[in-house]
Structure 1
Amino acid sequence: MSKNKGRKDQQWFDEKYSEGKAIVITGGRRLNFTGSLKIERFNNLESINLKKLKIAYLEISKCSQLNITNLSELTKLTSLSVSGCPKLITLNCLSNGLTSLELSGCYRLNNIDLSKFTKLQSLYLRGYQNLTTLDCSSTEKLISLKISDCVQLIKITNLPKSSKLQSLFVIDCPKLTTLDYSTNALTSLEISGCTKLKDIISLSKAPKLTSLSIIDCPNITKLDCSSNERLTELEVSDLTKLNCSNTSIKILSVNLCPNLETLDCSNNNKLVNLDISNCSKLEFLDCSNSKLPSLDINNCKFLLKEYEQDSIKSKMFKYPPDLKIIEKRITKNLIIVGRTGGGKSTLSNVITESDVFEESGSSISVTKNFQKKNFEWNGKSFNVVDTIGVGDTKLSTKKVLYKVLDGIFSIPEGISQILFVIDGRFTAEEAKIFNMLKGSIFDIFEIGILDYVTIVRTKFSNFKNKDKCEADKKQLHNENENIANIVRSCRDVIYVDNPPTNIQIIDEEDEETVITNKKIRDRSRKIILDYLDKACQVDYFRLKTWDQIRKPIAEYLESNCEDVPPELEKNKEVETLIKITESFCTIT
């Protein structure tokens, strides 16, 4: 079927059925559909009955009154998506050729027998309230399985029979007690919000695993992934014991595990960044045979004691001989925030005089997690934390919140200064982003936090000219009321220029450009660090402990994060962050 014919068929269908209560179509020589069909926002629709059509892709969404759907004679159907139909009770679909099935926000839907879908490769179930047991015995060709917000789900059975399963996500299924994911093909596993799940099958049965996330599963306190040599990404919370030795993890943060007592991440020559800042109960650490350049143990009293008594012969604290140990110190902590692609990571590199933060001008965030680096300036210690960029909407509300918390807990002393980065004029878009951050991050510290916020204006070529900087600042105060109020509310505006130095060098002109740009960045660094040396406050702002806020956060997310239209997802995320963080913060 041509694209033009497909559009005409869809247009005819919408005009004929969008206002009706029932759709009844039987295909034939004079009436037939091929290719794809979308049934979206048919607000009066109560029933669908489609027969003998050659549809391959069918999407039904946001039909609030839909009750019954019969697709039993759509033999050509390969992909079916039904979402946002809260009154749907009955769904008949017997297509043997179905390879993709998505059921989301259909809260009253009766159980579906998967035994008919022997060719199913992708299955996504969200908000399936009546689902108690998921039997995967017939889904031997399943490659991807995602289950979310199925609050009555108790167990998933026969999953190992899906020998081709590569990706498994089980999120917010609080009654789930049994999960056997052992399959040789599995590469990605995420388990989150499964509060009754007490144990997981040995990870040795998933030798190809590269990504593992176990968050907000408080009954899973021990994890051993030492047999997963290919593992490169690991996210965990609530653990007391973790063995991730012999893996290929590059960056590891365990700040959501404040009760962690034992950590083995040895024999990993890929590991270059380990953050244990919030692990004050850590008694045993083995990070020997790794590539770690430095390690902050300032908040780990047991490790500090071991290091001070006999660091070389210690059996409780093992580390590479050339590792730089960061002990007790007074540190000024900087949080870098701003728009995706707006120069946050570049500023972080300039401030720390390094290249550890990945720079990109793309609208897609390359910073997927908090990144932190310590450095010294004029004899004073600083930490820089580069956050995920605002505008990267691929992450869920819960994921964003936990990444924010992970970063904040990486500086248990608290925050000294927040730098809001803009890479040009303070536009309406920048103002919108600032207000989002104010609601979702800045306001978590309640009274007076804006006194700790500095706007950093990058790409300002006249940054060395004080008169030009003051003129621009004055102009900002005379902008529209929204922008002017933002500028007035913050501590100050600092001007810098951070031109790229990671350009490809082809000739001498390129070499000269790099040298010139480095000098400009050095000058920018001095300006901003001289400012921060004076501006950073004595007091810190910080959250309460993870143990204090984990349960209320989970309860809030469970009761307030229902399905929402995609166009409202950003606002929902901000609203969630605002309401949660306002409740759980203190000033010290």
Structure 2
Amino acid sequence: DEVRIVVIGKTGVGKSATANSIIGEPYFTSRPGAASVTVNCEKKVVNILGKKVSIVDTPGIFDTRVSSETLEIEIRKCIAMTLPGPHAVLFVLNLNDRYTDNDYKVYKYFLEHFGDKILNYGIVVFTNADAIQRANQSLDNFLENSPETLKDVLKFFGNRKIAFNNIDKSQTRIQVQCLITIIDALKQGNHNDPYYEDKNFRRVDELLRKVMQGEEKHRKTEEQLDEAKLEIKKLNEYCRIRDEDLKALKLEWPRINAAKDLPQPENYCEKEDKSADT
């Protein structure tokens, strides 16, 4: 069983920290602050609860160091890294931050670039779950007074949500189990289309397959070339030895030729026998 996940959100909400909590190791670079750490797509494949889980961390939206054109290309590449498509898209928000227009713009950004269909695969992940614990409230109660725009986003995502505490590692396992349960239910609900895809992804998939086929042909050609090089090396070694033998023979030839002119040795045993008869 396989689960493919893409993590999205604006700069500084804890995307990479959440991705690290899910895979159980500090693979993705993460540190507190308003500046985005992730600039390029990063992917990690791990085994979680007997499932092969692929998770892709994306650049932070509204990162001032990256142009909008570059960001769009990179985000599309991130989602394409889950070919044939992600089963879940995690929309990350920070419970400690006031929900603003920029947060809503992140949601609108993905809606505009990937279409309404992506809503069927979205899950809202709230980081800094310790804020709920300090308030001694449930997530639903904590969000009661949230802005209407956030309530709309949750509604559009089918009210699929979960809170993550990325600091307290003792909570990691149960959080990940809950997330995988939500994703499994999501896959069942989307049984006809268990993962998000579009024609661009299919085109990329076809190109990747062609590249892989080309690489396989290239690999076989390289192997044949290596075999030919080995045979040539053996032939060159044979020729080298033959040339050395020929040179040695040429050096010995005068002595061998001179030896042919020597008188034939007499058979002294035969002479002695004849003398005895006389």
The structure having more radius of gyration, on CA atoms, is 2
Pick closer, same or farther for the CA change 1:548–1:529 going to 2, 3 Å.
Answer: closer
CA distance in 1, matches of 2:72, 2:5: 19
How many angstroms does 1:348 deviate by? 0.3
- Give the alignment partner of residue 166 of structure 2, picking from 474, 479, 498: 498
1:468 and 2:141 are equivalent in the alignment: no
Q: Secondary structure at the match of 1:382?
A: strand
How many angstroms does 1:466 deviate by? 10
1:362 and 2:17 are equivalent in the alignment: no
Q: Secondary structure at the match of 2:197?
A: strand
CA distance in 1, matches of 2:4, 2:136: 27
How many angstroms does 1:456 deviate by? 0.9
CA contact (8 A) 1:338 1:433 kept: no
1:543 and 2:198 are equivalent in the alignment: yes
Equivalent position of 2:123 in the other structure: 454
1:389 and 2:56 are equivalent in the alignment: no
Q: Secondary structure at the match of 1:436?
A: helix
CA contact (8 A) 2:10 2:106 kept: no
Pick closer, same or farther for the CA change 1:470–1:400 going to 2, 3 Å.
Answer: closer
For residue 497 of structure 1, what is the amino acid of its counterpart? Answer: N
Equivalent position of 1:427 in the other structure: 98
Equivalent position of 2:2 in the other structure: 331
Higher relative contact order (CA 8 A, sep 6+): 2
CA distance in 2, matches of 1:548, 1:535: 25
CA contact (8 A) 1:463 1:496 kept: no
CA displacement, residues 330-378 of structure 1 (integer Å, 9 cap, x when unaligned): 5322111112121100100011112110111121111010111112233
Moved more, 346-355 or 447-456: 447-456
How many angstroms does 1:472 deviate by? 2.0
How many angstroms does 1:454 deviate by? 1.2
For residue 105 of structure 2, what is the amino acid of its counterpart? Answer: M
CA displacement, residues 141-195 of structure 1 (integer Å, 9 cap, x when unaligned): xxxxxxxxxxxxxxxxxxxxxxxxxxxxxxxxxxxxxxxxxxxxxxxxxxxxxxx
CA distance in 2, matches of 1:469, 1:439: 23
Unaligned runs of 5+ in 2: 205-278
Equivalent position of 1:91 in the other structure: none
Pick closer, same or farther for the CA change 1:382–1:547 going to 2, 3 Å.
Answer: closer
Q: Secondary structure at the match of 2:128?
A: coil
1:407 and 2:78 are equivalent in the alignment: yes
Q: Secondary structure at the match of 2:45?
A: strand
Pick closer, same or farther for the CA change 1:419–1:433 going to 2, 3 Å.
Answer: farther
Q: Secondary structure at the match of 2:39?
A: coil
CA displacement, residues 525-581 of structure 1 (integer Å, 9 cap, x when unaligned): 2332332232344422223347969xxxxxxxxxxxxxxxxxxxxxxxxxxxxxxxx
Pick closer, same or farther for the CA change 1:393–1:421 going to 2, 3 Å.
Answer: same
CA distance in 2, matches of 1:361, 1:335: 21
CA contact (8 A) 1:445 1:541 kept: no
Q: Secondary structure at the match of 1:542?
A: coil
- Give the alignment partner of residue 372 of structure 1, picking from 43, 59, 66: 43
CA distance in 1, matches of 2:201, 2:182: 32
CA distance in 2, matches of 1:369, 1:489: 28
- Give the alignment partner of residue 154 of structure 2, picking from 478, 487, 498: 487
Pick closer, same or farther for the CA change 1:340–1:525 going to 2, 3 Å.
Answer: same
TM-score after normalising by structure 2: 0.62
CA contact (8 A) 1:454 1:490 kept: yes
TM-score after normalising by structure 1: 0.31
CA distance in 1, matches of 2:122, 2:57: 15
CA contact (8 A) 2:121 2:196 kept: no
Pick closer, same or farther for the CA change 1:443–1:460 going to 2, 3 Å.
Answer: same
Pick closer, same or farther for the CA change 1:434–1:415 going to 2, 3 Å.
Answer: farther
CA displacement, residues 38-92 of structure 1 (integer Å, 9 cap, x when unaligned): xxxxxxxxxxxxxxxxxxxxxxxxxxxxxxxxxxxxxxxxxxxxxxxxxxxxxxx
Pick closer, same or farther for the CA change 1:442–1:380 going to 2, 3 Å.
Answer: farther
CA distance in 2, matches of 1:382, 1:465: 33
CA contact (8 A) 1:463 1:497 kept: no
Pick closer, same or farther for the CA change 1:494–1:482 going to 2, 3 Å.
Answer: same
CA distance in 1, matches of 2:87, 2:202: 23
CA distance in 1, matches of 2:133, 2:47: 24
CA displacement, residues 277-332 of structure 1 (integer Å, 9 cap, x when unaligned): xxxxxxxxxxxxxxxxxxxxxxxxxxxxxxxxxxxxxxxxxxxxxxxxxxxxx532
Q: Secondary structure at the match of 1:535?
A: helix
Q: Secondary structure at the match of 2:71?
A: helix
Q: Secondary structure at the match of 2:138?
A: helix
Pick closer, same or farther for the CA change 1:529–1:338 going to 2, 3 Å.
Answer: same
Equivalent position of 2:180 in the other structure: 529
CA distance in 1, matches of 2:62, 2:155: 24
Equivalent position of 1:345 in the other structure: 16
Q: Secondary structure at the match of 1:375?
A: strand
CA distance in 2, matches of 1:375, 1:465: 34
CA distance in 2, matches of 1:468, 1:527: 15
Higher strand share: 1
Q: Secondary structure at the match of 1:383?
A: strand
For residue 88 of structure 2, what is the amino acid of its counterpart? Answer: Q
Q: 1:311-330 maps to which residues of 2 (within 5 A)?
A: none
Percent of aligned positions that are identical: 22
Pick closer, same or farther for the CA change 1:547–1:493 going to 2, 3 Å.
Answer: closer
Unaligned runs of 5+ in 1: 1-329, 500-516, 550-588
CA displacement, residues 370-406 of structure 1 (integer Å, 9 cap, x when unaligned): 1111122332222111100122111122221221122
Equivalent position of 1:520 in the other structure: 171
How many angstroms does 1:486 deviate by? 1.8
